[in-house]
Amino acid sequence: RSNAEKFEFQAEVSRLMDILINSLYSNKDIFLRELISNASDALDKIRFLSLTDKEVLGEGESAKLDIQIKLDKDKKILSIRDKGIGMTKEDLIKNLGTIAKSGTSAFVEKVKTGGDLNLIGQFGVGFYSVYLVADYVEVISKHNDDKQYVWESKADGAFAVSEDTWNEPLGRGTEIRLHLRDEAGEYLEESKLKELVKKYSEFINFPIYIWASKEVETEVPVDEDESSDDATDKEESEDEDAEKDEDAEAEEKEKTKKVKETVYEWELLNDVKAIWLRSPKEVTEEEYTKFYHTLAKDFGEDKPLAWSHFSAEGDVEFKALLFVPPKAPHDLYESYYNSNKSNLKLFVRRVFISDEFDELLPKYLSFLKGLVDSDTLPLNVSREMLQQHSSLKTIKKKLIRKALDMIRKIAEEDPDESNDKDEKEVEKSDDDNEKKGKYTKFWNEFGKSIKLGIIEDATNRNRLAKLLRFETSKSDGKLTSLDQYISRMKSGQKDIFYITGTSKEQLEKSPFLERLTKKNYEVIFFTDPVDEYLMQYLMDYEDKKFQNVSKEGLKLGKDSKDKELKESFKDLTKWWKGALAKENVDDVKISNRLADSPCVVVTSKYGWSSNMERIMQSQTL
């Protein structure tokens, strides 16, 4: 085309496309839900703008916010059209090729090491999945602020963008035309597409239509010298032969006959009633799982670990649905400190407002997926105004409470976790297997978030501490909780003992542990660098203080000989203290914390533990 401008794909994008186009991946179906998901996002955006400016929707067809799927069997084209926000020329160039998102290379790496292509949407590169099934793709788009443009590429490292002077005007929105490869012929079957929409896009919030064919029978006047050269016509007349005798009279009078005709019409494929407006009793587990997939763009094999569906009444009314994903996203902690993106979607009276509303959940809970639909927040104000709204504080508070409840319940329902097996017969049920190890799974994926929560959220510190898990000198490789630790404390033991270090193996050899182990005390092992920070915030739990066994202040049971020993070694300790004064040693004391080692260096109560020194050093170096 004469007016086409050519561009090269950014290098990472090009690599990604190469992988996709050459992929032997069998589940190519995923491209459709990625396109529908993009269409839905674009529709959300224009609907949001229309809240403050009705004009943006335009009139007639463009004002109907829907998604349309059309097939052209002869030309082997599958097209998906939306009446969303559309893309300007600049958007087309940037969004579809020249600017790589952070997920691009992460996804390429993932796929190269055998990762599942199914997760493409989570990495923010879902669009390119079209090249699993097409070798040539056109994106026709019209944004309110620009003319209509066509983006096109054969995935050969380059794409072209031209002003559209030949297609029918879209009004507003985007049409993606996939020129399907020969082996992707199944995507020209209506039944296949209907099945896929049902499977993956059932919970999209906008109507999805397919241009569907339908056989209808119509009565037409009989043509006097009709020749039946058409196969269907022949069948028809044979069928009618039998009826002819009976209907002979009527037939003669009316001189009509029935013919089958193929007509096309838009057929609605989804039910757009929002799942969160339904009563939790009526929603099945499968529906929640499917909804989670659509919402989180997480189409992995696993079910979410838990969900909570509730509504709040009173001054601030809202409905919410929260999910604990089965796996942490690839960049959860990478982006923890520089992004404030919560994964909750905010709706106001069913209208999607934003998914970048960090006022809804604290950072440490940003691993949760879900949505909030508020009846209290105003609809027709800017995002900035909404962010200031007083009811957000109440919503946030309730969401945190519910989220922590939901996590606590994972542990309570996990048969591996129940710590009172002796008191209560643990009932064995069919789904025990499914629940087995669920909390361990949760802990392995999101444990760090709970720790960050203890550091950041003073109000909920105790609730969060209940969710902590760790290994101890007695836990035999298993995870245990503070409640379990306390239930095993020796009579007379006042403090909760812990020790920090780089690994369990290292800690097990620690001289600080000798005496405690000999005396049968249990000591918590903290081996994650974040634990050092954690323990600066977690001072006590259930009226018990935490005592680092490598620090001053360790009190074991009183020994009657203590005083005597102190007296008899007074001269030695005094001399020693003097001798070491230059070496940053504050004091030399007789101690009952050792069993076999003759002496040990202890950190003062308020000083950094040696592990903390190590962490700080590694950070400054």
Write out the residues near ligand ADP by the rule CB under 6 A: 34, 38-39, 41-42, 82, 84-87, 95-96, 124-127, 174
> Containing H/E element for 371?
strand 369-374
Pick out residues in 551-610 that bind Mg ion (CB under 5 A).
none
What is the pattern of x (binds Mg ion, CB under 5 A) and - over residues 68-107? ----------------------------------------
173 binds Mg ion (CB under 5 A): no
User: Based on CB atoms, which residue is closest to Mg ion, 125 or 612?
Assistant: 125
Sequence-ordered strand ranges (E) for 86-195: 134-142, 148-153, 158-163, 173-180
Q: How far is the CB of 429 from Mg ion (least distance, A)?
A: 39
* Terminal Cα-to-Cα distance of the chain (whole angstroms): 57
475 binds Mg ion (CB under 5 A): no
Kindly state the number of chain residues that form the binding site for Mg ion, as judged by CB under 5 A.
3
Judge whether 446 is annotated as a binding position: no
User: Based on CB atoms, which residue is closest to ligand ADP, 343 or 493?
Assistant: 343
Which residue number has the CB closest to Mg ion?
126
Cβ atoms of 139 and 161 within 8 Å: the answer is no
Which one of the spans 122-130, 139-147, 409-417, 514-522 is the region binding Mg ion (CB under 5 A)?
Answer: 122-130
Name the DSSP class of 470. B
Judge whether 102 is annotated as a binding position: yes
Judge whether 122 is annotated as a binding position: yes
Q: How far is the CB of 263 from Mg ion (least distance, A)?
A: 34
126 binds Mg ion (CB under 5 A): yes
Q: How far is the CB of 31 from Mg ion (least distance, A)?
A: 11
Sheet containing strand 158-163, strands side by side: 5-8, 158-163, 148-153, 134-142, 173-180, 77-82, 67-72, 208-221, 256-268
Q: Residue 495 and residue 315: Cα distance in Å, rounded?
A: 43
The full DSSP string for 17-72 is HHHHHT---S-TTHHHHHHHHHHHHHHHHHHHHHHH-GGGG-SGGGGS--EEEEEE
Pick out residues in 19-48 that bind Mg ion (CB under 5 A).
37-38
Judge whether 495 is annotated as a binding position: no
User: Based on CB atoms, which residue is closest to Mg ion, 38 or 449?
Assistant: 38
Cβ atoms of 395 and 370 within 8 Å: the answer is no
**Cα 519 from chain centroid (whole Å):** 47
Q: Which listed option, ligand ADP, Mg ion, none, makes contact with residue 475 (CB within 5 to 8 Å by class)?
A: none
Burial-class residue 250 by CB neighbours within 10 Å (0-12, 13-18, 19+). Answer: exposed
Q: Which listed option, Mg ion, ligand ADP, none, makes contact with residue 87 (CB within 5 to 8 Å by class)?
A: ligand ADP
Q: How far is the CB of 297 from Mg ion (least distance, A)?
A: 7
Q: How far is the CB of 174 from ligand ADP (least distance, A)?
A: 4
201 binds Mg ion (CB under 5 A): no
Q: Residue 611 and residue 265: Cα distance in Å, rounded?
A: 70
Judge whether 38 is annotated as a binding position: yes
**Cα 309 from chain centroid (whole Å):** 16
Name the DSSP class of 603. B
Q: How far is the CB of 126 from Mg ion (least distance, A)?
A: 4
Joined together, the tokens standing for residue 367 give 């691993």
> Containing H/E element for 296?
helix 285-296
Judge whether 491 is annotated as a binding position: no
Closest listed residue to residue 67, CA positions, set 88, 98, 46, 95 = 46
Judge whether 291 is annotated as a binding position: no
Name the DSSP class of 94. I
Q: How far is the CB of 492 from ligand ADP (least distance, A)?
A: 59
Q: How far is the CB of 427 from ligand ADP (least distance, A)?
A: 44
Residue positions forming the annotated binding site: 34, 38, 82, 87, 95, 101-103, 122-127, 174, 383
**Which residues form the interface with Mg ion (CB under 5 A)?**
37-38, 126
| Residues in the annotated binding site for ATP | 34, 38, 82, 87, 95, 101-103, 122-127, 174, 383
